[in-house]
Amino acid sequence: MNNLTADQLAKYFDHTQLKAYATEDDFRALCAEAKQHNFMMVAINSVPVATCKALLAGSDVHVGAAISFPLGQTTIAVKCFETERAIAEGADEIDYVINVGKLKEGNYAWIEEEMRAIVTLCRAAGVCSKVIFETCYLTKDEIVRVAEIAREVKPDFVKTSTGFGTAGATVEDVALMKKTVGDAVKVKASGGVRDLDTCLAMIAAGAERIGSSNSVKILEEFRQRYPQ
C-alpha cells in the first residue's frame, strides 16, 4: 500500500447512493463528488441512470445501475429487461443481485442461466458486469459454488454484498472469492466499508473495486495519513 496514490485509490471507488428516499438533489451531490474526486463510478438504482449520465457528461466517471436491488427476487426475464433499459439510458456498468433463494435450494442451473443471460447482454453492449452474492446469507461452500460458476461465465466482477443485508463485506469472504475466481474475474467489496483501514484490508485481500457511500471520507483519511 506504500506505493498507492490518492488518485489511484479514488479509482477503486464506486461512489454509492442507493437509498429509497434519494432525491435528484442527492444525485446531483453524488455526481459532483464523483467528478471532483474522479471516482470510478456512481452506484445508483436504475431510475436515475439518465439523470446521472447527464450530470456526469464530459467526465470519465461511469454510471452503474443496480439491478433487482436489493433482494434479487425477480425473474431472469425481468432482470434482463431492467438491464437492457439501464444500458439504453446510459449505464456503463451493471451490478445485479443473484436469486439467493434459488441458490439455497441448490438450483445452480438457475444461477448459471441468470448469470449468463445478464453477462451476455452486458458483453454485447460493452458494459461492465458485476454479480452480487449477498454473502451474509451464504455458507462458505455456497460462496465458492457461485464463484466457480462465475469463473466459467466470466462476468467482470463478483461482488460481496448490497449493503442492505444483515452484514456487508468481510476480508475473509473477499479472500475466498478471489481465491476461487483467480485471475478470471475481479472482486468488488461492498457493504460496511466505512473507513480507510477496512478499505485497505479489502484491497489487500484481493478487492479491485470498493463500493461505499463513505468514499470521500475514506479518501480524505488516506490523504491525511499518507500526504503526497
Query: Which are the catalytic amino acids?
Result: 95, 159, 188
Rounded Cα distance, 208 and 29, in Å: 25
Q: Which residues pair with 157 in a beta bridge?
A: 130, 186
Residue 128: alpha-carbon gap to chain centroid: 10
